[in-house]
Structure 1
């Protein structure tokens, strides 16, 4: 879940009142260096942890999201540069004069992988089911929707409760991917064990904790795609093992090499180490439901004690920059001057002296095992809090277990990250500051009525200038509250075999594997 673009470009795309038609960006043939894409072959990707589910209406981990996006698709798709959205399963759309009704025309000739035609009934069912997850998942993102109406087999009407300029970005959200009406006659539980979608791949085999394999959807609507016979994600928790497997051609992509070895991979024969523009931010989360983290002075003290420039140098090897805001650079309305606690040990000590624990305390920091970057960050934070008398025990847990502990608020402090999924701050800010946003405020228990009110105003405001003012206030307030200690912004890094062509990571962190092929 990331960052992106300037909002002016988004408004131009999302608020037009005229009927707009568009062709999916992936619909044309993709090649590199003028060579014709070759068909066939199996792509193997190594990642540090497994996916957990195909149900993207409630899931909060990118491993699941990025995998499921190869099976299920939305009506609109975020562009390759992450700055706008364009029709995907939708063919075109129109907006009423009062901006409260969006009418969407579907592509014709699109079928699910079982051969069933895509219709407006499927769209209505999918959006309605996603909206119902407001308390447990991503349904809150659909709050602007008052009603979804089937006009005819290929036309859907969305009636909104209020003007909402980035509405089409909501329809590009992974939680609004289209599934068959009534799950094709199955229960939701059964359907998401082996989902049927319109995407380029379908489930082949899933040996949980080991590997997940998808195979080509022969009925995919983009003619000639996908090029690959299959794609497989292997779970390899150790970064050095992933590196050795890539160098030994056992895998073709290392999804997240350690920054410590990133530059050295550039000199490895047949391998490209590539950075992609990101909307990724890393934070230290506090559990505000536990003492002493309910005390804002404790949180500010810790936030002031962290040297972010040193973190970027030591952990990212210079590949990133210190964070100052709830939003990341490139996200609409990001404020580069937003005030938040920066490194100042004297201020840290002063804040702690005002707190309920002026002499320090013992606590723990939750880290996902196998993540070298996270462990290095944890060790530095552990060292930097010692002068305050704060003793930190680093608690390394297997990725899924750590995720569950965090989501159940069974932790003191935890290292967290975020990647935007739509070209608008609303998804993240609602997730982060509104306890009703399906995640207990990014699983921190943060509950400030003023922040909640600001966020609700911002999501209902259609005037860009007014939204900018509201988000500026929200960034100042959340920085002051320090429910998260902002750490750094970083790019995406992937190590890729030179045999892999057409692989691109968007600023949202996902990728279109229908465009990828293997050179002979």
Structure 2
């Protein structure tokens, strides 16, 4: 069973906004699979060799400043971000080696790494970083991740200052994922489609060639890349000489290609795991994603404007059954609008979120004369559609009829923004809940709050969660925020998925940052070829 969700770093913002672009496949390892997970180590690898990595779909552009689907995973090999995220999800240096706050946390000054060059030989400077940040501000989605940013100033060649209208706690976390920093000169010297095919980044690899329709993207070692973030093992140039990124749409074909050795790395669907389990030539890697699937309510529609009705709907749903049926057992129930793998998740959420209680749900729904039929909209993707079918059956047991409507992602998003639905199943990630739940972000104001929920106390808590810089104080705010959303059942969290990637066993050095664990994309710089 394959579920498609946004996976490159820019998509972390997309998920957080609830704009489910859903374009890269992530998968769940079935229970009982004897997966041999390669452990994280610091053994020095050997240089040379080439691998083929599967892409779920062909990218439409390799320039991350022109397309949110840029690279479909290629981008993390050829570009860098200002900050990075280690295996524990902590903000760590990357292109910026340190940063300071001043003017009541409204000014953030970044000090850039010396000696960094783009793959075309141009030196990285504050001016080039400034360009990428300013381009990101032009997109409503990526601009949201930069918060109340007023201006970006180049102080000198290696010093950059970001000026904010007000303190913005998520800024550093968001800069781990986007924007990718692109050499502005490489874009100015290329016209039209050329800027989509040969953008210059500072990552460990550079684009060598692109076949028509992006049917194959070949990246080779960037000779100018001679550094690493502090949590990356390889302190110099990439071990591998070449990575061939090849789109394979079929999960069955991808698994066959992994078994035959035509592909060295691919995400695997649950339906294909039996074919690779126990194969000595394949290693499986797994990890929980930093997002969750949830049931949403259109609170502008009666009876979902009543918290008692929303709670009763939530109480009718068996999350453990959802995990078993929709995920093949590979996942865990969710109880908070913030996924358990995210920072500021309240581990006590399971004690105050609605729990499965069919008798109480039936009583409350009958008392409020809730019978339907109601429209439940989601995407024609197996895990989403299966979840919808199980929820439909569970609601029928408490006397509520629902009609499932499956729509392609752009069409579904249009319907949600127009408010032409009652219930929806979607995906949510990140811990910045402003775009998704603040009342100023309703669709008629250009925002993404398709719950249509309005509450001054919730708005206040969301603003506090963004402006409280000290972690200890922020934890208290986030605990109140999660409790409010759960107690008022603004949405009903369902589950978080466990993801699996299969690699040929001769591919060594595998590890991921927590920031990329939704995709399980590896740290490309650390991969190397061992003995088959």
Q: Is TM (by shorter chain) over 0.5?
A: yes
Shift of 1:217: 5.1
Give the one of 376, 384, 396 matched to 2:386.
Answer: 376
1:229 matched to 2:242: yes
Q: Deviations over 1:35-77 (max 9, x none)?
A: 6334131322253x5555556569777x866442333321111
1:36 matched to 2:45: yes
Q: Deviations over 1:89-111 (max 9, x none)?
A: 22443444854443322223323
Q: Residue 84 of structure 1 corresponds to which residue in structure 2? A: 90
CA contact (8 A) 1:441 1:447 kept: no
- Listed as ranges, the matches of 1:197-236 within 5 Å are 197-199=201-203, 200-202=205-207, 204-205=209-210, 211=215, 213-216=217-220, 218-222=222-226, 223-225=236-238, 227-236=240-249
Shift of 1:330: 3.8
Shift of 1:323: 0.9
Secondary structure of 1:353 counterpart: helix
CA pair 32-83 structure 1, distance change in 2 beyond 3 A? closer
Q: Distance in 1 between matches of 2:406 and 2:68?
A: 20
- After TM superposition, the structure 1 stretch with the greater mean CA deviation from structure 2, 183-192 or 107-116, is 183-192
Q: Distance in 2 between matches of 1:358 and 1:101?
A: 52
- Listed as ranges, the matches of 1:66-465 within 5 Å are 66-79=73-86, 81-96=87-102, 99-133=105-139, 136-164=140-168, 167-175=171-179, 177-180=181-184, 183-184=187-188, 191-192=195-196, 194-199=198-203, 200-202=205-207, 204-205=209-210, 211=215, 213-216=217-220, 218-222=222-226, 223-225=236-238, 227-237=240-250, 239-258=251-270, 262=273, 265-288=276-299, 296-338=307-349, 339-353=352-366, 355=368, 358-369=370-381, 371=382, 373-396=383-406, 413-420=423-430, 425-426=431-432, 429-434=433-438, 440-441=447-448, 443-465=450-472
Q: Distance in 2 between matches of 1:287 and 1:52?
A: 33
Shift of 1:173: 3.0
Q: Distance in 1 between matches of 2:157 and 2:82?
A: 15
CA pair 36-468 structure 1, distance change in 2 beyond 3 A? closer
Shift of 1:122: 1.2
Q: Distance in 2 between matches of 1:449 and 1:225?
A: 51
CA contact (8 A) 1:228 1:517 kept: no
CA pair 256-396 structure 1, distance change in 2 beyond 3 A? farther
Q: Distance in 1 between matches of 2:459 and 2:287?
A: 33
CA pair 353-415 structure 1, distance change in 2 beyond 3 A? same
CA pair 213-299 structure 1, distance change in 2 beyond 3 A? farther
Q: Residue 22 of structure 1 corresponds to which residue in structure 2? A: none
Shift of 1:331: 2.4
Specify every segment of 5 or more residues in structure 2 that has no aligned partner in the other structure, as ranges: 1-5, 8-38, 227-235
Q: Distance in 2 between matches of 1:451 and 1:107?
A: 40
CA pair 327-219 structure 1, distance change in 2 beyond 3 A? same
RMSD value over aligned CA atoms?
A: 3.7
Specify every segment of 5 or more residues in structure 1 that has no aligned partner in the other structure, as ranges: 3-29
CA pair 460-376 structure 1, distance change in 2 beyond 3 A? same
CA pair 409-116 structure 1, distance change in 2 beyond 3 A? farther
Aligned pair count?
Answer: 476
CA contact (8 A) 2:142 2:178 kept: no
TM-score (structure 1 length as normaliser): 0.78
Q: Distance in 2 between matches of 1:247 and 1:277?
A: 24
TM-score (structure 2 length as normaliser): 0.76
CA pair 55-301 structure 1, distance change in 2 beyond 3 A? farther
Q: Residue 511 of structure 1 corresponds to which residue in structure 2? A: 522
Q: Distance in 1 between matches of 2:329 and 2:256?
A: 24
